[in-house]
Amino acid sequence: EKGTYPHFMLKEIDEQPFVIRKIIQEYQNEKDEIKLDPEIREAMKACDRIYIIAAGTSYHAGLLGKQFIEKLANIPVEVHVASEFSYNMPLLSEKPLFVYISQSGETADSRSVLVQMKELGHPALTLTNVPGSTLSREADFTMHLHAGPEIAVASTKAYTAQMAVLAILAVDTARAKGIKLDFDPMQELGIVASAMEALTDQKEQLEELARNYLSTTRNCFFIGRGIDYYVGLEGSLKLKEISYIQAEGFAGGELKHGTIALIEDGTPVIALATQENVNYSIRGNVQEVEARGAKSMIISMKGLDKEGDAFVIPHVHDLMTPLVSVLPLQLISYYAALHRDCDVDKPRNLAKSVTVE
């Protein structure tokens, strides 16, 4: 139920700190160790490459999952859009492990890959918010997202839950492989939950940004580098699906290879700047688009922020920034859709779970 909230989407955005705390609780035992099905641990240890299969927002979470698993557990990861997988099927490694990420657990495109790969005998792990779902039943193993029912068509809390669970999985695998890490996922997720809470209290500021930048525009660009780029992809999907503004996410460095031609006077460009190693270059990209008339908005992180940034998120671990930086993007999309009189929870032409290929 929506309770006092006008829309499920807003309620689900606000629930994110609780979901993160729930995940910490569910994936930890009394000895403060990671609690995970030992068979999943074995499968992760045994594989030589991971293939993440997902669609939409879950695909965007997969892109971050690749960062977690490669950087922390040292296993190569490929991330594939489910509907494209069979056309562009990669050469598989000797011991592949397939990881299906799906909020609903019912996405037909992902299921079709699962069925084909199971036929070839490749093990399947599903990350889903619905444990009894098709993708969960048909996989060998399941990790539950514990996000609670997600009703709004636009996925919000499932995305951050997916990233949190992927971070835990990556660290568990690293530990199982004897890799020493200077990264305690539960502690970092605790910091994330507090940061999220602080942001859900800043709605007025984000509503104002949405009003100022997005009330009448036809299009909007999101730019970022490194993991900020992936968050930009998610921000653009959120905005386009509920506000119908044509929104695209681009890698900052790609702008000059074509996209910058689209920048006109007043075109909104939302730039993410939460990573130290790209802070300088992404700000350079902002100057380039501003010189062509763009109306830019920088979302940065405390410690890397500069005067004039539109919004600053609290400081969290580098790898964890997407879980926090996506919140202002979710809220900006929500308010943009609201200001434009769109049906926030049930956007046109879309279904919550896409059960046809």
In the shown chain, the binding pattern of residues 208 to 247 toward ligand M6R, with x for contact by CB under 6 A and - for none, equals: -----------------------------x---x------
174 vs 210, beta carbon nearer ligand M6R = 210
Nearest approach in angstroms of CB 103 to ligand M6R is 3
**Sign of the dihedral defined by the CA atoms of residues 42, 180, 98, 119, in that order:** negative
Question: For the CA atoms of 326, 56, 154, 218, what is the dihedral angle to 10 degrees?
Answer: 80
The CB-nearest residue to ligand M6R is: 56
Long-range CB contacts for residues 285-288, cutoff 8 Å, separation at least 24: 285/223, 285/252, 285/253, 285/255, 286/223, 288/255, 288/256, 288/260
The answer to whether residue 45 is catalytic is no
301 vs 337, beta carbon nearer ligand M6R = 337
72 vs 154, beta carbon nearer ligand M6R = 154
129 vs 275, beta carbon nearer ligand M6R = 129
Q: For 121-241, where are the E strands, in sequence order?
A: 124-128, 141-144, 219-224
Whether the CB-CB separation of 156 and 191 falls below 8 Å is answered with no
In the shown chain, the binding pattern of residues 121 to 160 toward ligand M6R, with x for contact by CB under 6 A and - for none, equals: --------------------------------xxx-----
Question: How far apart are the C-alpha atoms of 120 and 118, rounded to whole Å?
Answer: 5
Question: How far apart are the C-alpha atoms of 187 and 190, rounded to whole Å?
Answer: 5
Whether the CB-CB separation of 335 and 211 falls below 8 Å is answered with yes
Q: What are phi and psi of 34, to 5 degrees?
A: -70, 130
233 vs 273, beta carbon nearer ligand M6R = 233
Nearest approach in angstroms of CB 158 to ligand M6R is 6
Nearest approach in angstroms of CB 192 to ligand M6R is 20
Whole-number Cα distances in Å, 55 to 41, 234, 351? 25, 12, 13
- Orientation angle between helical segments 185-200 and 157-176, nearest 10 degrees: 170
- Residue numbers 55-84 binding ligand M6R by CB under 6 A: 55-58
Nearest approach in angstroms of CB 51 to ligand M6R is 16
Give the count of residues interacting with ligand M6R (CB under 6 A).
Answer: 16
Nearest approach in angstroms of CB 49 to ligand M6R is 22
Span interacting with ligand M6R, options 49-57, 249-257, 308-316, 333-341, rule CB under 6 A? 49-57
Residues with active-site annotation: 352
Site for ligand M6R, rule CB under 6 A:
55-58, 102-104, 107, 110, 153-155, 237, 241, 353-354
